[in-house]
Each structure stands twice: as C-alpha cells, then as structure tokens.
Amino acid sequence: MLVKPCIPAGFMELLPEEQIVFNSMLNTIKNAYERFGFTPIETPAIEFSEVLFAKAGGETEKQIYNFTRGDKEYCLHFDLTVPLARYVAEHFNDLTFPFRRYQLQKVWRAERPQRGRFREFYQCDIDVIGSTNPLIDAEIVSVINSVFIELNLGGFVVSINNRKLMSGFIASLGLKESSQDILRLIDKIEKQDRSSLSDEMVSLGATEEIAKQIFDFVEIDGTNDEIVAKLKALKNKDELFLTGLNELETVVSGIKSLGVPDKNYKIDLKIARGLDYYTGTVYETFLTEHGNFGSVCSGGRFDNLASYYTDEKLPGVGISIGLTRLFSQLKADGFFAKSQSVPSKVLITQMDSRYLEKCLEIASKLRTSGINTEVYLEEERIGKQFKYANKLGIPYVIVIGEEEFTKDIITFKDMSTGSQEQKTLEEIIDKLK
C-alpha cells in the first residue's frame, strides 16, 4: 500500500525554479549584511525549554514545538533573538563588542496555518550588541536600504520613530504610568478607527482632549528636517522626550551621511511597535509598489538583551526580515518572472552516444573554468535534448556531432535567440565566463 506523499499545512516547499529565486534573495541579504561587517552565527534548532523560556511566556509559549526526551524538555527555537541572547551570554568572554552578528535561519511556530502565516519560516536578522551609540541605529537604516535596493522589489520606505520621544511626550501629558499601553494603541492606528482608540485612551486615564493631542502629535508630517523642527518647536521639557528627540536627530543626520536617498526613509510618529522590549529607535519597512504586505523589515533598539542569562548589561539594536512570508507574498503577487530550474549555464548535447566521451572532456574543461555545465548523458534524439534545455531554461547548448568530434570546432547555440555558431572551446569559455 502506498503512503500519500505530502507535507503538513503551513510549511513552504518550493519547486527548483522557485527555490533558485528564494536562495538568490537569501544570498542578496547575506551579502548586504556582510558588506556592513556583520558576522555569521548559527544556533541549534533545538534548545532546552527552560533556557529559551527564561524570558518568553503566555502567547509565545503556546506556539512552541516542544517535546520531552528523558527527563528534559526541548523545543524548536521560535525566533533568533532569544537564541542570540543565550549565545552572547554563553560566549561572552570569547566575543568582541560591539558584536555585530547576522543570522539567517529557519524558526518554527506551531500556529494555526493561514494565508501568509507559516509554521516554519526563515528569519534574516542582524543585531549590534554592546553599544548605545545612535549612529549604529543610522547604519541599520543604511543596511535596510542596501538590502531592499539589491532585492530589487521596487520602491520602499523605512519608517523611523523613537520610543523615548513617544514615551516622553505621553509622560508630559500626565500619562507616564500608561505610556506602554498608549504606545500599543498608537501601534493600531492604521487598523482601528480613532474614536474607539480615543475611548480606550480615556479608559487608560486620558481625557478626550489629551487623546486628540496624541493623535495630532503622531500626525506631525513634513520632510524629516521639518518634522524635527516641528518637534523642537513643541518646547516640550520632558527629559525622556528631549533624549529621544536628540537621538532621532542624530539618527537622521547619520542616515544622510551614509548616503541613503531621502525617498527611502522617513520619520513616522505613528510607528510605535507593540513590544515593550524596544526602548529607543524603532523601524518598519514598507514596499510602495506592492499591495498590503505590511512591514517587511522591522526592529529597534533595546536596553538589555540578555538580562535572564547574565548580569552584563547588553544594549543593542537589530532588525529582522521574514523572508518566507515576503517570498510567498511576492509569489502570490505574480512578481517573479519565470526563472531557470537548474543553475547550469550550458548543456552539452550529442548527435550520437559515441561522442559522449568527448562531451565529458569538454564539460570538464568548462567546469574547471568555473562554468556551470551539464552533459545530456542519455541516448536520445537531438530534438529531445534541446527540449530538455528549453524546459529547464538552460541558456546555451553545445552540440557535438561528427564534425565537432573530429575537428576542434564546436556548435554553440544561444537558446534565447536561436542563433547558432561554430566556435572553439576557448571562445566559448570566454563568452560564458
């Protein structure tokens, strides 16, 4: 009896032609991260539950894939931030700070599968640990800028805000105690109507007038310089507000020095990030030429990464790209052109299997020159061999027949134009390299 071959819902599995595109996106992100000096680490997929849950709890804990072996409970990591905290605490004495690491790994969450939610997905994270310097926050925007220019998905905007500025402003309205809760409400501003948000603010101790002041504040708009000027003009005396404003100004001026085009970043006081974890700069990134993707790259600054594992205070800043979700959204959007299904640049075909030996020799020479080469090894009509190249999207085909076998000349076909030429192997290598 046959078993039906299938995978669980919520897992993304790609055909080769899609996998090639996915891998190239992953590689683009990796290269951009390395260009800014981030160094790779990789942590085990399985960790002790008691270690990873030192911090987590509630909603997160329910979404974990966990299991018991012997007397220990283990789990699959559900993000890369908690493992980073554990890693930095564990290897503290072997690391050099500020520690700039990237990490591109799958994480797992036992969520109910739904459109755009995956149980297994790639996170592409960077963090800089061990410095409070706001210029690092600026550099992070430059990294995001490089990544999304190189991914070539059309226009994008990195929205930037500062949680100190926001909390300070809320505190100056006499709502210091509720500031986290009010930030969570601001985070919903694009999804929920003002009057119900206003009601919720009132239930947190604001008056309707104060709620309106908050809405007016987060709506402050203009160029980045104009927004900074308007914030200064408020003459707000709250110390946290002023620290935040100062950080925001440094970040924006650093981003400018780093040559990030104006159109690619913007102060947006509506970006609050729901998580209490963030304590300074926060980021979200939006694509401008695609439908409702939501933020495709988010993060922010935090005061202390690993307080559950070490007494060392570890401030830092980081971002994450959820590549599996982004890829699936782009795919659903019909964004990807049909790509090759194999990495081969050239297929060597033969008119007769007697020439196979010659084909293998040529293949070996092409490969030694670094050219991805496949030989059609089966005995088939030449037409079928060409069809195979076409189907897989291999751009060039070499044909070895009687003439090519005896002379040192090779028939070389460009599959996209259909044009066919006689060339020497050296000419072909020059062309393909």
Strands across the sheet containing 156-162: 39-40, 99-108, 120-129, 316-322, 298-302, 278-287, 156-162, 265-267
Q: How far is residue 334's CA from residue 389's CA, in Å, rounded to a whole number?
A: 24
State which of residues 56, 110, 157, 382 lies at the interface with a second copy (CB under 8 A). 110
Question: Which pair of structure tokens corresponds to residue 364?
Answer: 């070996």
Positions 255 through 274 that interact with a second copy (CB under 8 A) = 257-259
State which of residues 60, 172, 253, 295 lies at the interface with a second copy (CB under 8 A). 253
Positions 54 through 83 that interact with a second copy (CB under 8 A) = 54, 65-67, 69, 72, 74, 76
Regarding 192 and contact with a second copy (CB under 8 A), the answer is no
Which CB sits closer to a second copy, 331 or 365? 365
Which CB sits closer to a second copy, 342 or 382? 342
End-to-end, the C-alpha distance of the chain in Å comes to 50
Regarding 356 and contact with a second copy (CB under 8 A), the answer is yes
Q: How far is the CB of 237 from a second copy (least distance, A)?
A: 28
State which of residues 62, 313, 391, 407 lies at the interface with a second copy (CB under 8 A). 391
State which of residues 60, 180, 310, 411 lies at the interface with a second copy (CB under 8 A). 310
- Beta strand segments in 218-313, E: 265-267, 278-287, 298-302
Regarding 111 and contact with a second copy (CB under 8 A), the answer is no
Which listed range, 6-14, 177-185, 188-196, 225-233, lies at the site for a second copy (CB under 8 A)? 6-14
Q: Is the dihedral of CA 133, 134, 140, 145 positive or negative?
A: negative
Neighbouring C-beta atoms of residue 74, cutoff 10 Å: 19
Q: How far is the CB of 123 from a second copy (least distance, A)?
A: 14
- Residue type at 338? K
Burial of 242 (0-12, 13-18, 19+ CB in 10 A): middle
Q: How far is residue 360's CA from residue 375's CA, in Å, rounded to a whole number?
A: 7
Neighbouring C-beta atoms of residue 424, cutoff 10 Å: 13
**Distinct helix (H) and strand (E) counts, the chain:** 16, 16
Q: How far is residue 424's CA from residue 404's CA, in Å, rounded to a whole number?
A: 10
Regarding 136 and contact with a second copy (CB under 8 A), the answer is yes
Regarding 34 and contact with a second copy (CB under 8 A), the answer is yes
Which CB sits closer to a second copy, 271 or 348? 348
Which CB sits closer to a second copy, 101 or 266? 101
Q: How far is residue 28's CA from residue 180's CA, in Å, rounded to a whole number?
A: 36
Regarding 42 and contact with a second copy (CB under 8 A), the answer is yes
Please tell me the count of residues contacting a second copy according to CB under 8 A.
Answer: 102
Which CB sits closer to a second copy, 217 or 302? 302
Q: How far is the CB of 375 from a second copy (least distance, A)?
A: 7
Which CB sits closer to a second copy, 132 or 213? 132
CB 187 within 8 A of CB 274: yes
State which of residues 378, 403, 414, 426 lies at the interface with a second copy (CB under 8 A). 378
Q: Is the dihedral of CA 74, 78, 81, 82 positive or negative?
A: negative
Regarding 352 and contact with a second copy (CB under 8 A), the answer is no
Which listed range, 34-42, 235-243, 328-336, 406-414, lies at the site for a second copy (CB under 8 A)? 34-42
State which of residues 146, 159, 162, 320 lies at the interface with a second copy (CB under 8 A). 146
State which of residues 277, 308, 335, 405 lies at the interface with a second copy (CB under 8 A). 308
Q: How far is the CB of 205 from a second copy (least distance, A)?
A: 34
Helix axes 356-368, 425-432, angle to 10 degrees: 40
